[in-house]
Amino acid sequence: MRATLIYGAGDVRVEQVPDPKLHEPTDAIVRVLRSCVCGSDLWPYGSMPDSAAGERIGHEFLGVVEEAGSEVSGLRTGDVVVAPFVWADNTCDFCSEGLHTSCRHGGMWGTGGTDGGQGEAVRVPHAQGTLVKMPVGEDAALLPSLLTLSDVFPTGHHSAVTAGVSPRTSVTVIGDGAVGLSAVLAAKRLGAERIILMGRHTDRTGLGREFGATDVVAERGEEGVERVRELTGGDGTHTVLECVGLDPALETALGAVRDGGVVSRVGAPQYEQVPMGFGTFFRNVTLTGGVAPARAYIDELLPDVLDGRIEPGRVFDRTVGLDQVPDGYRAMADREALKVLVRP
């Protein structure tokens, strides 16, 4: 089959690789219907050291079960399924607590010889715990929105949930990428009435307004913090959803949060240290969030997607075939595209 590999910064290729086969009786083989490129894929795309062998890449996919191992129950050939961006057994104590990203038998697509999501098919370990059946056909118009349940929408949701967003909390969302816009949609869905979106790309913040943002702040850094404080009587917002992962975004988040408030980070950190000394201590600021246990949220989010109450798939603004995946990376890195959908 064909699949995407990354060989270094800016070097993404689609190549022939071995067809996936069942290794364990708990595996399933999924033919990919839709995949996509994640903002976090852009980190290796920007800076990965050269690799002679290349590495499989892609961790968001939705597909059709082609074959299931003897110990997989509840899934049949032909089922349309979505895969969270880590696999998990869904039975260990961490999974039971809703922290599938720390599953005792979990793992990440494309690592340790496994398949990545940006390909024609994937061997899915712990398929019964990992895959979630979608009650739709292979050609459903909802596929893009359902695909977002793999990562980007639950990631926005995770930031809102861990921050404690509710009708009583004001919200700042930092970042107008697909995760930031998903966080806006998730905060709105949880009842937030005041959602300030910080971002500079008017096409993106426009979608943010449609998703529920009540205010847009284009300024960054200290100036951006001042604007958020002006909009909130000087205090900042109860919650700040940090959807970027870079130092300046985190500093802005810590500056824009109200005393006693919560910063939730879901942008994969490209920093080692967090500037939380005496100031944030005296202001009782909490830092929470982390990598989203998407599997824990799918059952809750799915009905709203199925009945069209939310359309998280609107973050996709370009669709490519598998051969065009390298150009999809380039388009996202150049900010030509917000998020690229892949139809293998």
- Our finding on whether 276 is near a second copy (CB under 8 A) is yes
**Which region holds residue 308: left if phi is over 0, alpha if psi is between -120 and 50, else beta?**
left
At its nearest, how many Å lie between a second copy and the CB of residue 266? 9
Q: Which of 284, 299, 300, 336 binds a second copy (CB under 8 A)?
A: 284
Largest CA distance in the chain: 61
At its nearest, how many Å lie between a second copy and the CB of residue 282? 5
- Our finding on whether 102 is near a second copy (CB under 8 A) is yes
CB 55 within 8 A of CB 5: yes
Residue 103 or 325 with smaller CB distance to a second copy: 103
Residue 17 or 256 with smaller CB distance to a second copy: 256
Q: Which of 21, 49, 52, 278 binds a second copy (CB under 8 A)?
A: 278
- Our finding on whether 36 is near a second copy (CB under 8 A) is no
- Our finding on whether 101 is near a second copy (CB under 8 A) is yes
List Cβ neighbours of 282 (8 Å cut-off, separation of 6 or more): none
CA dist 106 and 126 (Å) reads: 8
Q: What is the Cα 7 distance to its own chain's centre?
A: 23
CA dist 160 and 56 (Å) reads: 31
At its nearest, how many Å lie between a second copy and the CB of residue 236? 11
Question: Binding segment for a second copy among 3-11, 63-71, 113-121, 262-270 (CB under 8 A)?
Answer: 262-270
CA dist 27 and 30 (Å) reads: 10
At its nearest, how many Å lie between a second copy and the CB of residue 283? 7
Q: Which long-range contacts (CB under 8 A, 24 or more apart) does 224-233 make?
A: 224/198, 224/252, 224/256, 225/252, 225/255, 225/256, 228/172, 228/196, 228/198, 228/256, 229/256, 231/196, 232/170, 232/194, 232/196, 232/258
- Our finding on whether 239 is near a second copy (CB under 8 A) is no
- Our finding on whether 94 is near a second copy (CB under 8 A) is yes
- Our finding on whether 92 is near a second copy (CB under 8 A) is no
**What does the block give as tokens for 191?**
């009842």
Residue 20 or 106 with smaller CB distance to a second copy: 106
**What does the block give as tokens for 302?**
């799915």
- Our finding on whether 73 is near a second copy (CB under 8 A) is no
3-class DSSP state of 290: coil
- Please state, as a whole number, how many other Cβ atoms lie within 10 Å of the Cβ of residue 269: 15
Question: 285 to 304, contacts with a second copy by CB under 8 A?
Answer: 285-291, 293
Q: What x/- string results for residues 143 through 182 when contact with a second copy is judged by CB under 8 A?
A: -------------------x--------------------
**Site residue total, a second copy (CB under 8 A):** 32
Residue 97 or 138 with smaller CB distance to a second copy: 97
CA dist 110 and 6 (Å) reads: 11
- Our finding on whether 265 is near a second copy (CB under 8 A) is yes
Question: Binding segment for a second copy among 8-16, 114-122, 130-138, 268-276 (CB under 8 A)?
Answer: 268-276
Name the site residues for a second copy (rule: CB under 8 A).
94, 97, 99, 101-102, 162, 259-260, 265, 268-269, 271-278, 280-291, 293
